[in-house]
Amino acid sequence: MSADAADKRPNVVAVVQARMLSSRLPDKVLADIAGRPMVWRVVDRVRQARQVDQVVVATSTQDPDLPIEAFCLKEGIDCHRGELKDVLDRYYRTAVRYGADAVVRVTADCPLIDPDVIDRAVDIFQQGDYDFVSNVETPTYPDGLDVEVFSSETLEKTWRDASWESEREHVTTHMKLPGRFRTLNFVNDVDLSHLRWTVDEPQDMEFVRAVYKRLDDQRFTMADVLALLEREPGLSVINSGFDRNEGLQKSLTEDRLIDVER
């Protein structure tokens, strides 16, 4: 390997998966939050991460997702369209198209995602000898601050080997199987996993809008939101009572082996 190749900084691409169809809150990715669509809020916050070189929205080729592509084109946001249900394939082809060495996985229903948490994940991934780093196995961060980082090689191997429907839909399920890859889960100093900052239900959207309104659209962090909840503890009650990862649990219950065209 040449000195130039050895010194080349890895290309870290954050892929934000987004779709219009949602059984609990349809069209949520383009719903307004403080004057901007939710997907814009997510992209803007991911772009603030120092360790991310490029942010790409990955949506499907289905007609209902045309508005996502149109919005991205209008706003100058990179967008890739692929399979609707085979989200793993969508990620793989996005990574290939944009020459990713490492991929940061984020979902478009996390408008409170913290750039500092993303940077921490990428730092751990780059400094350690890992294939996959996340904060979602034994979660200690609020639901909605989920970050996963994996190498392009890990993604390609997963893309080739994963055969369960849940593995194709939820992208990283296969990566977490014991003994497959070198993985690490990083934790927060305080367990905040009981807090719900994701958007799946109308009450979640109400909560997030309340946060943005009170923080006046500043570039706030997790610490700022926690301070807000200290001042106004009633805000957390707005969307309490929902289980974490309901979509994944449903997929695992209905899981089946499928024939995958690669």
Q: What are phi and psi of 66, to 5 degrees?
A: -55, -40
Q: At what angle do helices 38-47 and 66-75 cross, to 10 degrees?
A: 50
Q: In angstroms, rounded to a whole number, what is the distance separating the alpha carbons of residues 241 and 183?
A: 31
Q: In angstroms, rounded to a whole number, what is the distance separating the alpha carbons of residues 226 and 211?
A: 10
- Note the pTM of the prediction, 2 decimals: 0.90
- How many residues can be counted in the chain? 262
Average pLDDT on 4-13 reads 73
- Whether residue 6 is predicted with pLDDT greater than 50 in this model: the reply is no
Q: pLDDT grade, residue 45 (50/70/90)?
A: very high
The pLDDT tens digits for 144-175 are 999 999 999 999 999 999 888 989 999 999 99
Q: pLDDT grade, residue 2 (50/70/90)?
A: very low
Q: Which of 100, 95, 103, 110 is nearest to 45 (CA)?
A: 110
Contacts of 113 (CB under 8 A, 6+ apart): 42, 45, 46, 106, 144, 145, 147
Q: How many CB atoms lie within 10 A of CB 163?
A: 13
The pLDDT tens digits for 214-247 are 998 678 999 999 999 999 999 999 999 888 655 5
Q: What is the pLDDT of residue 1?
A: 37
The overall average pLDDT reported for the chain is 91
**Can you read off the two tokens belonging to residue 154?**
């890990």
- Asked if residues 141 and 188 have their Cβ atoms less than 8 Å apart, the reply is yes
The pLDDT tens digits for 178-208 are 999 999 999 999 999 999 999 999 999 999 9
The pLDDT tens digits for 16-28 are 999 998 777 889 9
**Which strand (E) or helix (H) includes residue 134?**
strand 132-134
**Can you read off the two tokens belonging to residue 201?**
């239900």
The pLDDT tens digits for 58-112 are 999 999 999 999 999 999 999 999 999 999 999 999 999 999 999 999 999 999 9
Long-range contacts of 173-181 (CB under 8 A, 24+ apart): 173/248, 174/88, 175/131, 175/132, 175/150, 176/132, 176/137, 181/131, 181/132, 181/150, 181/154
Q: In angstroms, rounded to a whole number, what is the distance separating the alpha carbons of residues 132 and 102?
A: 10
Domains and CATH numbers, the chain: 7-253 (3.90.550.10)
Average pLDDT on 124-151 reads 96
- Using CA atoms, how far residue 242 sits from 203, 204, 236, in Å, is 10, 10, 12
Q: Which of 48, 37, 53 is nearest to 108 (CA)?
A: 37
- Asked if residues 179 and 161 have their Cβ atoms less than 8 Å apart, the reply is no
Q: What is the pLDDT of residue 62?
A: 96
Q: What is the pLDDT of residue 26?
A: 85
